[in-house]
Structure formats: C-alpha cells, structure tokens
Structure 1
C-alpha cells in the first residue's frame, strides 16, 4: 500500500511540473536590411521626393534604401498599390 501511495504522489508531482507556464522573453530587435547593396535610410533628399511626386501624383513613400552610388530603392504606395521604384539622387527614375 505504501508503494501505491508513493507511486501516485510521484505521478501527480510529475504532472504538475508539466503544467507550469513558461515565460518567453520576446526582445525587440531592430535590424538594418542590406539587400542588393542597399542600406535602409530614414529619409530621402527633396529632389527625390519631387521627382516621385511629378512621376506619381499622390505617392506615399513607405521605405527607402540607398546604395554606394547614391541610387535609391524606394517602396511606394500609389492609389493603394505598393511598388518599388529606383531613382538617382537628382530624382530621375531609373529602369531596373
């Protein structure tokens, strides 16, 4: 009888250990994308904004990246549709 009670206590004790909730820390990590030689930037020159406004009326700049040649890769939204546009530092649209 002693062995039965001891076995029951061990089984119940092991079950309660599995019922424990685990706390998982989710640290926020900010990364800088380096894709195709482009690095993410916070803003673009005024000439680039003007060039995009002229080419795409109502454009909204979402994200921007720049490479070593000062060419910009810009994610834009025009009338609800997202697309990627490449420009130079003067605001001229590049074909890529």
Structure 2
C-alpha cells in the first residue's frame, strides 16, 4: 500500500510540473524605420536655406546630388576632398538624423 501511495504522489508531482505555464515576455521591442521614397531633383532647385546651411557647415563641400521626399526633407550627397557623404536636411536648412526621416513604427 505504501508503494501505491508513493507512486501516485510521484506521478502527481511529475504531471503538475508539466502543467506550469512558461510566460516568456519580450524584454525589448524592435524598431523598424521605413524611409520615405526620395526623388532626385536638380541641385539648383534646392531651397536657399538648404544651400546656405551646406555652405556654412561644410565650407569646402560641393553638392553632387539632391533628393526630396513628400515631407520636403532633403537628402544631399556632398563631396568633400574626393570623399562622398550623405546628409539630410529639412526645407529650413536644419540638419536631420537618418532615423528621423520618414515614419518610425514600434513592433513588439
């Protein structure tokens, strides 16, 4: 009789450990940045504020290509001493981070 009670107790405890739920929650979210589409424009079509910001902050730079999106944010490819860099600006000539371009959605 003792063996029967011991066996039932062992089986009951074994089954109850499988019944515990495993609640694993994500500890951090995933950020997805979707850049809006830029369309190439002529460099002479840039607003004066953007041109003057380039002249002020990158004195020896030349703008090789310019792009604009629907929010009037500008992507500029500038050349400084034979190296090319990409910078972003708004229509008032304020510099923007690449992550600030377009929309940002949070996923969990």
What is the TM-score when the length of structure 2 is the normalising length? 0.54
Identify the match of residue 54 of structure 1 among 45, 53, 56.
56
* 2:87 pairs with 1:85: yes
User: What's the RMSD between the two structures over aligned residues?
Assistant: 1.4
Cα distance in 2 for residues equivalent to 1:95 and 1:64: 16
Ranges in structure 2 where 5+ consecutive residues have no aligned partner: 1-34, 99-108
- CA shift for structure 1 position 36: 4.3
Ranges in structure 1 where 5+ consecutive residues have no aligned partner: 1-34
**Shift >3 Å, 4+ stretches:** none
Cα distance in 2 for residues equivalent to 1:63 and 1:36: 17
* 2:65 pairs with 1:63: yes
- CA shift for structure 1 position 54: 1.1
Instruction: Compare the two structures and name the one with the higher strand fraction.
Output: 2
Larger Rg: 2
What is the TM-score when the length of structure 1 is the normalising length? 0.60
1:6 counterpart residue number = none
How many residue pairs match? The answer is: 62
Q: Which has the higher contact order (CA 8 A, sep 6+)?
A: 2
